[in-house]
Amino acid sequence: MPIVAEFLIAALIVVGAFFLLVGSFALAKLPDMMRRLHGPTKATTLGVGSVLVASMAYAAVVRGTLSMHELLITLFLFLTAPVTAFMVSKAHILRDRPERAKLPPTGSEKGWATLDPSPGSTDELAGFER
Amino acid sequence: MRKILVPHPILTLLITLVWLLLANEFSAGHLVLGLILGVLIPQITSVYWPERPKIGAPLTIVEYALIVLWDIVVSNVQVARLVLFRRSDGLRSTFVTVPLDITAPEAITTLAGTITMTPGTVSADLSADGRALLVHCLDVDDPAATVAQIKARYEARLKRIFE
């Protein structure tokens, strides 16, 4: 395979590995739950993204085939990462009393959905001690 | 009649495309199988999803996708720098409230997802009436500027796409 392509693919893998490492490091280093969420949600996207681009480039240059299902992995990652982060932070707001006191007001008479179930929905918090 | 056969045309196209990508090769057989799935799945699930979301402004969608991709790269570098070179207790993390102008559930979902993927922000909760989004910022100088940027950069474009 051409040397330029080899360098490019290797560089993509190294960059990807670096950002994945930073993402995991952030999870360990940052001091509280909400800040820890920032590491895995972001650093992982670019990390996995560049490894997948490297995989597509490898298939195109070395095997001479067009490999596109890496795009699907990216798509599924983009769909799942924010939803996971959202559910984790909702669970955190529900469970952590000091954090709840720090929340800014919503700007309307209704509260945040985790703590103030909207009318018409089943009251999932009914038995929960607030 | 069209509404019964193809309740969500865009979903039909998307499922066919995803099927072709999963198969990882293009052939007439995969295309036909993908189309069959793309017609059957929306028909079966349309009970759970009666409304057809309005999606317009295709150029804005492309523009939005490019902006978000660029912001993801930038945000990765920024967050990596904050994590590696800043003392954790020196980070000015805070919650901010982003009041929403958009009302379509699909638009709000996209906005919340985008906020999580882009520079130093994670969406944490939605207000019970769906009029405001709770966003956690990792390191912020001016919370008002962050809110203004989210509204101008993402929300304004989503409003054009979904409403």
Confidence band, pLDDT 50/70/90 cuts, at residue B2:
low
Identify all chain B residues contacting A82, using CB atoms and an 8 Å cutoff.
112-117, 123
Are residues A42 and B132, on separate chains, in Cβ contact within 8 Å?
A: no
Q: How far apart are CA A94 and CA B38, in angstroms?
A: 39
Which phi and psi angles does A33 have, rounded to 5°?
A: -55, -50
Among chain A residues, the shortest Cα distance to B122 is held by A38
Least confident of A74-78, B51-55, B123-127, B152-156: B51-55
Residue B96 pairs in a beta bridge with B135
Q: At what angle do helices A33-58 and B105-117 cross, to 10 degrees?
A: 90
Residue whose token pair is 């895995």: A40
How would you label A41-58 residue by residue, b for 16+ Cβ within 10 Å and e otherwise?
Answer: bbbbbbbbbbbbbbbbbb
Size of interface A-B (CB pairs under 8 A): 145
pLDDT on residue B77: 85
Question: What SS3 state is found at A112?
Answer: strand
Mean pLDDT of B6-12: 81
Among chain A residues, the shortest Cα distance to B70 is held by A46
What tokens does B68 get? 């978000």
pLDDT on residue B66: 92
Report yes or no: B114 and A123 within 8 Å, Cβ to Cβ: no
Using the predicted structure, report yes or no on whether residue A130 has a pLDDT greater than 50.
no
pLDDT on residue A110: 77
Least confident of A16-20, A40-44, A111-115: A40-44
SS3 letters across chain B: CHHHHCCCHHHHHHHHHHHHHHHCCCCHHHHHHHHHHHHHHHHHHCCCCCCCCCCCCHHHHHHHHHHHHHHHHHHHHHHHHHHHHCCHHHCCCEEEEEECCCCCHHHHHHHHHHHHHCCCEEEEEEECCCCEEEEEECCCCCHHHHHHHHHHHHHHHHHHHHC
Are residues B134 and A72, on separate chains, in Cβ contact within 8 Å?
A: no
Nearest to A42 among B21, B75, B84 (CB): B75
pLDDT on residue A127: 44
Report yes or no: A51 and A9 within 8 Å, Cβ to Cβ: no
Are residues A30 and B128, on separate chains, in Cβ contact within 8 Å?
A: no
| Chain centre distance of CA A47 | 11
Cα-Cα-Cα-Cα torsion B150, B153, B154, B159, nearest 10 degrees, comes to 120
Mean pLDDT of B32-55: 83
| Residue of B73, B138, B154 to mutate when probing chain A, most A C-beta within 10 A | B138
Question: Mind telling me how many Å the CA of B161 is from chain A's nearest CA?
Answer: 19
Task: Write down the ipTM of this complex.
Answer: 0.80
Are residues A118 and B129, on separate chains, in Cβ contact within 8 Å?
A: yes
Mean pLDDT of chain A: 81
Provide the residue ranges of all domains of chain A, joining segments of one domain with +.
3-101
Among chain B residues, the shortest Cα distance to A115 is held by B128
Using the predicted structure, report yes or no on whether residue B34 has a pLDDT greater than 70.
yes
**pLDDT tens digits, B120-157:** 888 888 888 888 888 888 888 888 888 888 888 888 88
B94-99, strands of its sheet edge to edge? B94-99, B132-137, B121-126
pLDDT on residue B1: 58
Q: How far apart are CA A50 and CA B69, in angstroms?
A: 12
pLDDT on residue A100: 80
Mean pLDDT of B50-67: 83
| Residue of B76, B100, B101, B121 to mutate when probing chain A, most A C-beta within 10 A | B76
Residue B137 pairs in a beta bridge with B94, B121
Nearest to B91 among A35, A71, A110 (CB): A35
Least confident of A57-61, A74-78, A125-129, B18-22: A125-129
* CB atoms near residue A33 (< 10 Å): 16
Percent of chain A whose pLDDT exceeds 70: 88
Confidence band, pLDDT 50/70/90 cuts, at residue A68:
confident
pLDDT on residue A117: 65
Are residues A113 and B128, on separate chains, in Cβ contact within 8 Å?
A: yes
Percent of chain B whose pLDDT exceeds 70: 98
Using the predicted structure, report yes or no on whether residue A119 has a pLDDT greater than 50.
yes
Confidence band, pLDDT 50/70/90 cuts, at residue A15:
very high
Are residues B72 and A68, on separate chains, in Cβ contact within 8 Å?
A: no
